[in-house]
Amino acid sequence: MIAVALWSVAALLALAPAGVVLSTRPRGSIILYGGCLIATSTLCITALSDLLFFPHLTPSATLPIGLPWLGAHFRLDALSAFFLVVVNLGGAAASLFALGYGRHEDSPGRVLPFYPAYLAGMNVVVLANDAFSFLVAWEFMSLTSWAMVVSHHREAENVRAGYVYLLMASFGTLVLLLAFGLLASGAGYDFDAIRASHPSAALSGVVMILMLLGAGSKAGLVPLHAWLPLAHPAAPSHVSGLMSGVMTKVAVYGFVRIVFDLLPEPVWWWSMVVLLVGGPSATLGVLYALMQRDIKRVLAYSTIENIGIIFTGLGLALAFKAEGLDWVAALAFTAAMLHVFNHALFKSLLFFGAGAVLGATGERDMEKLGGLIHRMPKTAFAVLVGCVAISALPPFNGFVSEWLTFQAILLSPQLPSWGLKLIIPAVGGLLALAAAFAAACFVKLYGISFLGRPRSDVAASAHETDRFSLTAMLVLAALCLVAGILPGLFIDALAPVSKSMVGNIMPHQVGLQWLTIVPIAESRSSYNGLLVFLFAALCGTTAATAIHRFASDRLRRAPAWDCGYPDPNPLIQYSASSFSQPIRRVFGGVIFAAREIGEMPPPSSPLPARLKVELRDLIWDALYAPIAKAIGFATDRINILQFLTIRRYLTLVFVALIVLLLVVAL
C-alpha cells in the first residue's frame, strides 16, 4: 500500500522537472495534467481501499533521505489514508479540470512545473511520520503554491498577494518549527518516539497553541486569515480550488495529527481556545464573503467560514474527549472530518465554476456578469449544486456535516466546566448565523452572476466551457448529492479515523432502516437524506404532472412585468453591492466600520451624484497594520547602516569582534 503511494508521489515529483520541458510544447499541458490525473487517481484509490478494507494496518516505510541519522519516515494509518483521499480526490478533479482549462494559460511555464510538485508536497505532508519530513514537505507545499500565486505576476495585486502569502507562510512554518522543537526536546523527531514520550501538561498546552497558530495560519482561521482571500484567488482557478479545497485541509490534518494523536490527553481549556477561534471564524468569514463582488474572493472568504466550522467540530471533540465523553467526541470529530470531505468537494467545484466563468468572459467581477445560465447552462447547473451544498441545505452534503455538529452542540450541557457551558451556546449561535449568511452569500453569488440579464458585452457573448472542465464539475456535483443522500456510508468509512483519534466511534450507520443516520439514539435525532430527497422529488413531480394534466400546461412568452415599469437597461438590476446593502447596514457598521458617503454636486452642476461605500478590515487595521508599521519603522532606522564610510564599517567589525571575544571569555 504505502509503496504504491510513495511511487505515485515520486511520479508526481518526476513530472515537475518534465513540466519545464512540456511547458514549451503545444500539447505539453495535456501530457502533464494527464500524468497528474493518473498519479492522483492511483493515490486516491490506494488510500480509499486502505481506509475501507485495511483500516487497522498501519504500513510504514523509511527512506534514506533527509537527515542522515534519521532518514525519512512515512506511515499510512487511518487518518493519513482519509486525508490522502481528500487531497487526491481534489487533485484528480483539479487535474481533470485543468486538462481543458490549462490550455488557455498565458505562460504555462509559470504553472506547469510547480503543479505536480505542489500535489506531491501535500501528499508527503500527510504521509510523513517524522517532524523533519513533515516540515520540509509543508514548506515545499507553501513555496510551490506561492510560485503559482504569482504566476500572473504582471498584475500588481497578485504580487502583493504573493508577498503577504510568503510572509504568513514563513510565520506559520516558524511556529510549527517551535512546536516540533518543544515536542522533540525529549524524544527526537520521529512521530512514534514523540507519541511514546508523554510531554508534561504545560508543554502540551504550549504546543497546542503553537499548532493552532501554525496550522490556523495556513487554514485561514481568523485573525490569521488576511493572506487567504488575497492569495487563493490570485492563482489559476484549478490551483485556487486546490488551495482552498485541499491545502486548508492539509493544515487541518497537521492540527489533528499533533493535537489528537501526538499529544497526550487534552485538557478542557484547549477546547475553549479552539472554539473561541473557530466560531468567530465561521461567522466573520462568511460576512466578509457577503461584502465582496469578486467571485473568487467570495469563495476564498467562504473557505474561512468552513474552516471555522471544522475547527468548531474539532474544539467540541477536544472538550468531550477531555471530559471522558468519548462517544460524543466521536460524533463531533466525525462531523468535523465529514465537513473536511464535503468542503473539499463543493469548494473545488465552485472554484472550477469560477474558472469556467473567468475563461468564458475574462471577468471575476460579479457586477460585470449576469445571465450566464442561458449561455453556460451546464456550468450553471453544476455551480447551482455547489451553491446549494455549501449553503448547508438538504438534501446535499453540507447540511449533513453541519447537522452532526449541531447534534454535538446539543449534547454539550453534559460538560461540567462552566467556561464551556457559557461558550458553547454562543458558538452554536455563531454557527447558526454563519449558516444563514452562507445562504445569503450564495444566493447573491449565483443570482448576480448566473441569473438576470447580462451586465456587460463579455457576459452577453459568453460560451459554454470545454468538456473536461464540465466533466470535473459534474462529477463533483454528483458526489455532493451522493454524500448528501447516503451520509451513512461516509460516516461508517470514517469510523477507523475516529477510533484512532478520539478512541471511540459513532454507532454503525449502514444497515439501519432506509439508510437513516442516527448519531446517538433514535429517540434523540435522526435524519434520512435519501427519503427527504425521494419525498421531495416525488412531491415535485406529482404536482407537476397533476397540474399539467388536469389544469393547464400552456405557456406564453412576454416582456417582463416589473410592476409596469420595465427598463431595458441591465444596470437597473440589483448589483452585488446593492444586494448585500441591507446586511451591510445591519451588521457592517460595527464589524467593518462601514460608511456610506454620498457626494452631491452643487445645484445646477451637471456632474453626477456619487455614492461611495467604505469597508475596513478591522483585524487588518488593529493587528497587521501596526506590525507592518513597526517593521517599516525599524528597517528605516537600520537603513543608515547601509550608507556608512569604510572606516565606520571597520570600527563596527572591530567592536563586534571584541564583544564576541568578551562573551566567549566570560
Does residue 485 contact residue 529 with C-beta atoms inside 8 Å? Answer: yes
390 interacts with other proteins by CB under 8 A: no
One-letter amino acid for residue 556 of the chain: R
CB of 382 to other proteins, least distance (A): 13
Q: Which three cell numbers stand for residue 519?
A: 448519531
* DSSP SS3 for 535: helix
The C-alpha atoms of residue 135 and residue 169 are separated, in whole angstroms, by 12
Q: Which residue has the cell 467540541?
A: 316
**CB nearer to other proteins: pick between 247 and 284:** 284
Per-residue interface string for the shown chain with other proteins, residues 550-579, x marking contact by CB under 8 A: -xx-xxxxxxxxxx--xx--x-xxx---xx
Could you give the angle at which helices 418-449 and 268-291 cross, rounded to 10 degrees? 20
641 binding other proteins? (CB under 8 A): no
Cell numbers placing 538: 416525488
Q: Which stretch binds other proteins (CB under 8 A): 37-45, 82-90, 443-451, 646-654?
A: 443-451
Of the candidates 468, 544, 484, which has an alpha carbon nearest to the alpha carbon of residue 93? 468
Verify binding: residue 428, other proteins, rule CB under 8 A. yes
Q: Is 662 in the site for other proteins (CB under 8 A)?
A: no
CB-wise, 224 or 331, nearer to other proteins? 331
Instruction: Indicate whether 482 belongs to the interface with other proteins (CB under 8 A).
Output: no
How many residues appear in the chain? Answer: 666
Distance in Å, CB of 593 to other proteins, minimum: 18
Q: Determine, following the binding rule CB under 8 A, whether residue 664 of this chain makes contact with other proteins.
A: no
Residues in 204-263 at the binding interface with other proteins, rule: CB under 8 A = none
Q: Which is nearer to other proteins, 568 or 603 (CB)?
A: 568
Q: How far is the CB of 536 from other proteins (least distance, A)?
A: 4
Shortest spacing between CB 396 and other proteins, in angstroms: 9
Grid cell listed for 371: 445571465
Q: What is the CA radius of gyration of the chain?
A: 26
- Smallest distance from the beta carbon of 451 to other proteins, in angstroms? 4
Contact criterion met (CB below 8 Å) for 333 and 501: yes
Retrieve residue 308's grid coordinates.
471555522
Stretch of 224-232, 445-453, 463-471, 501-509 contacting other proteins, by CB under 8 A: 445-453
Instruction: Give the per-residue contact string, 137-166, with other proteins (x = CB under 8 A; - = no).
Output: ------------------------------
Grid coordinates representing 155 are 498584475
**Looking at 155, 157, 457, 522, which residue binds other proteins (CB under 8 A)?**
522
Site for other proteins (CB under 8 A): how many residues? 87
500 contributes a contact to other proteins by CB under 8 A: no
Cell of 58: 498501519
C-alpha cell at 641: 547602516
Binding of residue 276 to other proteins (CB under 8 A): no
User: How many other C-beta atoms lie within 10 A of the C-beta of residue 626?
Assistant: 10
User: What φ, ψ does residue 610 adopt, rounded to 5°?
Assistant: -130, 145
Contact between 432 and other proteins by CB under 8 A: the answer reads yes
Q: Which stretch binds other proteins (CB under 8 A): 48-56, 254-262, 347-355, 432-440?
A: 432-440
* Under rule CB under 8 A, residue 448 binds other proteins: yes
Member of 30, 159, 384, 623 binding other proteins (CB under 8 A): 384
Least CB distance to other proteins at residue 231 (A): 28
- Among 27, 198, 421, 595, interactor with other proteins by CB under 8 A: 421
Stretch that binds other proteins, among 99-107, 408-416, 484-492, 654-662 (CB under 8 A): 408-416
The CA-based angle 486-488-489, given to 5 degrees, is 80
DSSP codes, 450-470: TSS--SSHHHHT-----HHHH
Question: Grid coordinates in use for 412?
Answer: 454539550
Q: Scan residues 449-478 and list those touching other proteins (CB under 8 A).
A: 451-453
CB of 527 to other proteins, least distance (A): 5
User: Which residue's CB is nearer to other proteins, number 451 or number 489?
Assistant: 451
Is residue 188 at the binding interface for other proteins, with CB under 8 A as the rule?
A: no
Question: Residue 567 or 621: which CB sits closer to other proteins?
Answer: 567
| Stretch (H or E) spanning 492 | helix 487-493
Residue 485 identity: I
Pick from 173, 412, 465, 498: which binds other proteins (CB under 8 A)?
A: 412
Interacting residues with other proteins between 577 and 636 (CB under 8 A):
578-583, 585-586
Q: How do beta strands 610-614 and 595-599 pair?
A: antiparallel
Q: Specify the residue, 199 or 452, whose C-beta has the smaller distance to other proteins.
A: 452
Q: Does 436 bind other proteins (CB under 8 A)?
A: yes
- What residue type is 78 in one-letter code? A
3-state secondary structure 48-70: HHHHHHCCCCCCEEEECCCCCCC
- CB 507 to other proteins: min, Å: 14
Query: At its nearest, how many Å lie between other proteins and the CB of residue 54?
Result: 34
523 binds other proteins (CB under 8 A): yes
Based on CB atoms, which residue is closest to other proteins, 453 or 499? 453
Helix (H, G, I), strand (E, B) or coil at 569: coil
- Residue pair 221/311 in contact (Cβ under 8 Å)? The answer is yes
Tell me the CA end-to-end span of the chain in Å, nearest whole number: 57
531 scored as a contact of other proteins (CB under 8 A): yes
Closer Cβ to other proteins, 432 or 623, answer by number: 432
Measured between alpha carbons, how far is residue 206 from residues 176, 199, 213, 482 in Å? 12, 11, 11, 41
Angle among Cα 347, 405, 255 to the nearest 5 degrees reads 65
The burial of 111, by beta-carbon neighbours within 10 Å (0-12 exposed, 13-18 middle, 19 or more buried), is given as buried
Name, in order, each residue with C-beta under 8 angstroms of 460's C-beta and a sequence gap of 6 or more: 371, 375, 454
